Structure 1
Amino acid sequence: MPAFLPDLPVILGFAVAAFALAITPGPDLALFVSRTMHWGRGHGFATVLGAYSGIAVHTMLVAFGISVLIIAAPAAFFALKILGALYLVWLAVQAIRDGGGLLVPRAAGKQPSWGQSYLTGLGINLTNPKVALFFVTFLPQFVSASDPHAPGKLIFLGGEFILVSLPVVIGAVLFAEWLTRTLKEKAWVGRALNWSFAAVFMAFAATILLAEGRR
């Protein structure tokens, strides 16, 4: 067995945890769905690719110990949370403003490039405290600090997270595409969905800011 492979019970246990995180509603999943409903399946998958690039970054940070600096410096981690909250507020504004909504296409709206959708997915993942906390605090629980092969095992687990959660987000994008085709004829549905996604982003932002305000 290659040295970078964790034991089978570890692989299976981590797969369960990864699946649980993947199906938990969050700003990243909401963004995948909303981008698909507004600009189409290609932009949904571009956003997914951006988010999973962020997961690769989180994995590498944990594997090589850089993320420990964030935990050791509470001010830096606090700044990351605030940045993430502000980014969600910006996405909420984009969801309801003319020409910049996330759901139903409008004639006056300027369609972003796939690169812009990719960067949006990357940004929301890198500034999402839920993802950062998962990788910084939970991922290392599956390896021993004294294990000389710990970095390789952490990278393997990061790849496993992608493989386990990818079918969930692909299913979400395809469902969003089907839902758009079904409901796009009704203008009020589009407006309601735009406001719904704006509310989701604002709720996550408020949760982050209020949690930090109590400390």
Structure 2
Amino acid sequence: MLTLAQALPFLLAAVLVTASPGPDNLMVLGMGMSRGRWQGIAFGLGCALGCLSHTLLAVVGVSAVIAASPWAFTALKWAGGGYLVWLGLQALRSAGSGPVAASLAPRQGWQTLFLKGMLANAINPKVVLFFLSFLPQFVVPAQGQVGWQLAQLGGLFTLQAALLFGLLGYFAGTVGGWLNRRPRAGLWLDRVAGLVFVGLGLRLITQR
């Protein structure tokens, strides 16, 4: 099982990453504002559960790398750390999110929106790279069962994403209006997320 020293820092970083303005949560906001809170919740839950596919890839891929060679795992950590630093620098340089738009697309059932959200997340190659970079640094190889540790971390990420996206869908009108009235709020969320990414990337590169 994960230790508290693993779970708490991971959960804090995961919440900051999920809350920072990005395609997924902005789509959830737009969906909730235009089609209703339950449609927004359905789409958001689909996006969150799409993370399970990336968790599976991380479990299989990282476990295989560790089994292949310690040097390969070190190379993966350096590559993952560099990717996180790059993401952080991009966020620090960004101009913040634009206004949250309410989509005027035809209304659809919550089942369809749930599946669309899951598919949109599952096929996103950037999310695959993020999971391969983000999850391994919270793994403690000395504890053994690396695959099980990765699965628990991915499950924890999915649960917090489902909660946050569900709340975003439910309060979409209120949150979207607040962000549209305060464009600099998105900018500061990007800055915080950027610092988190850079810090995590450097930690992954330098840890032994």
- TM-score bracket for this pair, using the shorter chain length: 0.5 to 0.7
3-state DSSP class of the match of 1:64?
helix
TM-score, normalization by structure 1? 0.57
The offset of 1:129, in angstroms, is 4.4
What CA distance in whole angstroms lies between the structure 2 residues aligned with 1:66 and 1:117?
A: 32
So what's the TM-score if we normalise by structure 2?
Answer: 0.58
CA offset at residue 34 of structure 1? 0.8
- Whole-angstrom CA distance in 2 between matches of 1:40 and 1:67: 42
SS of residue matched to 2:171: helix
> Following the alignment from structure 1 to structure 2, what is the Cα–Cα distance between the partners of residues 17 and 123?
24
Maintained 8 Å contact 1:10/1:142: yes
Q: 1:68 & 1:30 partners in 2: Cα distance?
A: 35
Listed one character per residue, the Cα deviations across residues 55-97 of structure 1 (whole Å, up to 9, x for unaligned) are 011111111228989xxxxxxxxxxxxxxxxxxxxxxxxxxxx
Residue of structure 2 equivalent to 1:103: 102
The code of the aligned residue for 1:48 comes to: G
For 2:17 and 2:44, locate their aligned partners in 1 and report how far apart those are by CA, in whole Å. Answer: 15
Q: Which runs of 5+ in 2 are unaligned?
A: 66-100, 181-208
Partner of 2:17: 21
- Write the deviation string for residues 186-212 of structure 1: whole angstroms up to 9, x where unpaired: xxx9xxxxxxxxxxxxxxxxxxxxxxx
| Rounded Cα–Cα distance in structure 1 between residues aligned with 2:41 and 2:161 | 14
Residue correspondence of structure 1 range 169-184 to structure 2 within 5 A: 169-178=165-174
**Number of residue equivalences:** 144
Say if 1:46 and 1:153 are closer, same or farther in 2 by CA, change over 3 A.
same
Unaligned runs of at least 5 residues, structure 1: 70-101, 183-188, 190-215
Structure 1: 4+ residue segments shifted above 6 A: 66-69
Q: Where does residue 56 of structure 1 map in the other structure? A: 52
Tell me the equivalent position of 2:26: 30
Residue 137 of structure 1 and its aligned partner are, at CA, apart by 1.2
What CA distance in whole angstroms lies between the structure 1 residues aligned with 2:103 and 2:166?
A: 20
Deviations 1:1-35 (A, max 9, x none): xxxx1222111111121011111110000111111
Return the alpha-carbon distance in structure 2 between the equivalents of residues 15 and 140 of structure 1. 14
What is the CA–CA distance in structure 2 between the aligned matches of 1:104 and 1:31, rounded to whole Å?
9
**1:42 positional shift:** 1.6
Give me the whole-angstrom Cα distance separating, in 2, the residues matched to 1:119 and 1:47. Answer: 8
Cα distance change on mapping 1:179 and 1:63 into 2, 3 Å: closer
Residue aligning to 1:120: 116
Counterpart of 1:149 in structure 2: which amino acid? Answer: Q
- Cα distance in 2 between the residues matched to 1:38 and 1:64: 39
Task: Output the amino acid matched with 1:57.
Answer: S
C-alpha distance in 1 between matches for 2:170 and 2:159? 17
- Are 1:152 and 2:151 counterparts? no
User: Percent identity at matched positions?
Assistant: 33
What amino acid is the match of 2:9? G
Q: Provide the C-alpha distance between the structure 1 equivalents of 2:27 and 2:64, rounded to a whole number of angstroms.
A: 28
The answer to whether the 8 Å contact 1:61/1:67 transfers is no
For 2:15, the aligned partner's letter is F
CA separation of 1:117 and 1:67: change in aligned 2, threshold 3 A = farther
Contact 2:45/2:162 (<8 A) preserved? no
Cross-structure match for 1:140: 136
Change (3 A) 1:37 1:53: same
Cα-Cα RMSD: 3.0
